[in-house]
Amino acid sequence: MDLVDRWAALAGPHTRHIGTELDRRYGEPHRRYHTRAHLTAVLDLVDELA
């Protein structure tokens, strides 16, 4: 499942546009820490704690 799908599953389908924007921004080449891998780790932790 990609990040946008995971976001929509967590926050609801009406927030898919937010997930799309987060995916775009977290994929920017200048990012060193807050990357897609970081967002994936956060979503993994949310799933674990849910």
pLDDT for residue 8 is more than 80: yes
Record the pTM: 0.81
Furthest C-alpha separation in the chain: 32
Residue 29 CB neighbours (<10 A): 5
Residue 19 CB neighbours (<10 A): 21
pLDDT band at 1 (very low <50, low <70, confident <90, very high): confident
Provide mean pLDDT across the span 28-32.
93
- Can you give the pLDDT at residue 50? 85
